Amino acid sequence: MCLDNGTFLLVHGGGELSLEHVASVLPVAGGLKLVDVFGKSREIAGAIEEIDLLNKRIVVA
C-alpha cells in the first residue's frame, strides 16, 4: 500500500489543528512540543492516544 504525502491533522480537545508545517512532534513533561520547519515551537498538554497513518491524523487525549 502506498500513502500520499498529504497534511496530517492533530485532533485535540474536540478541535483539529493542521500539521502542514510541523516538522517534529516531541514528548515533553505533560505534553507534546510541535516544532515547525521554521524552528518555531508550540507546546500542547496531553499524550498521544492514536496515530492513524491511513487517515492522516494524530489523536491527543
Q: Is residue 1 part of a domain?
A: no
Q: Is residue 48 part of a domain?
A: yes
According to the model, what pLDDT value does residue 5 have?
72
Q: What is the pLDDT along the chain (61 residues), one digit of tens a residue?
A: 566 678 999 999 889 999 999 999 999 999 999 999 999 999 999 999 999 999 999 999 9
- What lies within 8 Å, CB to CB, of 33 at 6+ separation is 24, 25, 26, 27, 41, 42, 43
Q: Is residue 2 part of a domain?
A: no
Q: Is residue 46 part of a domain?
A: yes
Q: What Rg value do the Cα atoms of the chain yield, rounded?
A: 12
User: The domain containing residue 36 runs over which residues?
Assistant: 9-60
- Counted domains in the chain: 1
Helix, strand, or coil (residue 49): strand
Q: Is residue 4 part of a domain?
A: no
According to the model, what pLDDT value does residue 2 have?
63
pTM of the shown model: 0.83
